A and B are shown apart, each in its own frame.
Chain A
Amino acid sequence: MLSVMRNVIARDLTLAWRRRADVFVSVLFFVIVASLFPLGIGPEPKLLRVIGPGVVWVAALLASMLALSRLFADDYADGTLEQMLIGATPLSMIVIAKVFAHWIAANLPLVLIAPLLGLQFGLPADALAVLALALALGTPSLSLIGAIGAALTLGLRGGGVLLALLVLPLYAPVLILGSLAVEATATGMTAQPYLLLLAAMSLAALSLAPWAIAAALRISYE
């Protein structure tokens, strides 16, 4: 079972590498959205420092959601998903592998580039580190929750907008905890409780979401 999961991860990462323009687009989207805010609001350092954490988080949320529709759509269109549904490995395990590969290809670049964007808002160095850490702990739950939406809207016309409507409200707790963690550090308090809560949410999502995703995929087919 583990070797099947490893193979699926390797396959999805190979595919992501061969179509790296797609990855580049969502990273670029993240950079542009986060950069538009300082331009629109003006060079007021105090104000920028206050809104910075929230803006970077919202931009990361949107960029992460942009990539979601690709998660199952290609496999659905070319029939590979059918073979996964009737494969020898439980579908929920394959789903974990696919979401993990998707997280590496679509979300890890966001985590790595976020501190750079935080600089635009004049965030202090320790807040930048916490920003990256909070994103690293929070984005897995975004991918897992988003994958449920992606599975439910599979094969629907106009699924992209529906996906956003379904998923974005569910992202709210992660957004709140994530930006609180950065704000706490910027104002000299500890971010630990928020980071622990983010990690707990990701673990909870990891233990529950794969079954929901697998069930949603079967519903889309029947």
Chain B
Amino acid sequence: MLEVSNLACTRGERTLFRGVSFALEARGLLHVAGTNGSGKTSLLRILCGLGAADAGEVRWRGEPTRALREAYWREVVYLGHANALKDDLSATENLRIACTLAGRPTTAGAVRNALDSFGLAACAHLPVRALSQGQKRRSALARLALSGQAPMWILDEPFSALDVAAVSHLETLILAHVTGGGNVIFTTHQTAAIDASITQRFDLDAVAEKDPC
């Protein structure tokens, strides 16, 4: 479904990676690994179309994503480092607008259930500025509970700032999405975050330029 061929990315003078190629079939779960600064975030941003690659191409169902644009973005959920939450809106309002922007309008009940499943029922109506770091991350992740139809999830460090219960809930959600026919690409530094037996692993350190920065 997603094919990546010969991607290269440079930041200033420094080449982050070159010749990155892999393919992800349906029900693919890909763990992008690498040390800090190896270009994991840059790679994910290129995959979802936010960043431009210096060389190479990303194809979705055989078509280059740069030509597909909205048709591709309708099928992608991207969660970056930034939570994309408005401090002055409540978790409920944030979730509704996020789903609307993604082209998947929801109902009030579905939003309540999604927040509930991430343990946010009690603070669903507080402005997000009043929430803790972990609660903010959970409100951002609650989008995933409403994004089952989007076949491609691209998650940048989804497990950061989460407690044990939330980590295991997110794992279940990711595994359910993959077994349901979706794809997930994620980065994480947590070692045992997701069962390694079904995970493809792509190590950016293996394709990194060898010269020291």
Contact across chains for B52 and A86 when beta carbons are under 8 A apart: no
Residue of B nearest to A87 (CB): B101
Contact across chains for A82 and B84 when beta carbons are under 8 A apart: yes
Instruction: Give min CB distance, A3 to chain B, whole Å.
Output: 7
Q: Tell me which residues across on chain B come within 8 A of A165, comparing CB atoms.
A: none
Hey, what's the 0/1 contact readout for A64-94 against B, CB within 8 Å counting as 1?
A: 0000000000100111101111111110001
Q: Which residues of A, 88-114, contact B by the 8 Å Cβ criterion?
A: 88-90, 94
Residue of A nearest to B101 (CB): A87
Contact across chains for B84 and A222 when beta carbons are under 8 A apart: no
Q: Tell me which residues across on chain A come within 8 A of B202, comparing CB atoms.
A: none
Secondary structure at chain B's binding surface: helix, strand, loop or mixed?
loop
- Report the interface size for chain A: residues with CB under 8 A from the other chain: 26
- Tell me the bound Cα distance from A94 to B73 in angstroms: 15
Contact across chains for A4 and B51 when beta carbons are under 8 A apart: no
- Report the interface size for chain B: residues with CB under 8 A from the other chain: 31
Instruction: Give min CB distance, A220 to chain B, whole Å.
Output: 11
Residue of B86, B102, B105 touching A78 (CB-CB under 8 A): B86
Hey, what's the 0/1 contact readout for B57-79 against A, CB within 8 Å counting as 1?
A: 00000000000001001101010
Q: Which residues of A, 12-28, contact B by the 8 Å Cβ criterion?
A: 14-15, 18-19
Q: Tell me which residues across on chain A come within 8 A of B96, comparing CB atoms.
A: 7
Contact across chains for A78 and B80 when beta carbons are under 8 A apart: no
- Tell me the bound Cα distance from A3 to B103 in angstroms: 10
Q: Tell me which residues across on chain B come within 8 A of A80, comparing CB atoms.
A: 84-86
Residue of A14, A18, A83 touching B101 (CB-CB under 8 A): A83
Taking the complex as formed, is B93 at the interface, i.e. its CB lies under 8 A from any CB of chain A? Answer: yes
Contact across chains for B50 and A86 when beta carbons are under 8 A apart: yes
Contact across chains for B70 and A82 when beta carbons are under 8 A apart: no
Hey, what's the 0/1 contact readout for B83-116 against A, CB within 8 Å counting as 1?
A: 1111111000100111011111100000000000
Q: Tell me which residues across on chain A come within 8 A of B87, comparing CB atoms.
A: 78
Contact across chains for B50 and A221 when beta carbons are under 8 A apart: yes
Taking the complex as formed, is A46 at the interface, i.e. its CB lies under 8 A from any CB of chain B? Answer: no
Taking the complex as formed, is B124 at the interface, i.e. its CB lies under 8 A from any CB of chain A? Answer: no
Given A4-B101, A11-B89: A86 in contact with B78 (beta carbons within 8 A): yes
Hey, what's the 0/1 contact readout for B176-206 against A, CB within 8 Å counting as 1?
A: 0000000000000000000000000000000
Contact across chains for A86 and B48 when beta carbons are under 8 A apart: yes
Q: Tell me which residues across on chain A come within 8 A of B89, comparing CB atoms.
A: 11, 14-15, 18
What are 22 residue pairs bridging A and B, where the CB atoms are less than 8 Å apart in the complex?
Answer: A4-B103, A11-B86, A11-B93, A14-B88, A14-B89, A15-B88, A18-B89, A18-B127, A77-B82, A79-B85, A80-B86, A82-B50, A82-B80, A82-B82, A83-B78, A85-B50, A86-B48, A86-B73, A88-B73, A89-B103, A90-B70, A222-B51
Name A residues whose Cβ lies closer than 8 Å to a Cβ of B. 3-4, 7-8, 11, 14-15, 18-19, 74, 77-80, 82-90, 94, 221-222
Known interface pairs A8-B101, A86-B76; 12 further A-B residue pairs with C-beta atoms within 8 A, sorted by A's residue number: A8-B100, A11-B93, A11-B97, A14-B89, A74-B86, A83-B78, A84-B101, A85-B50, A86-B48, A87-B70, A88-B104, A89-B103
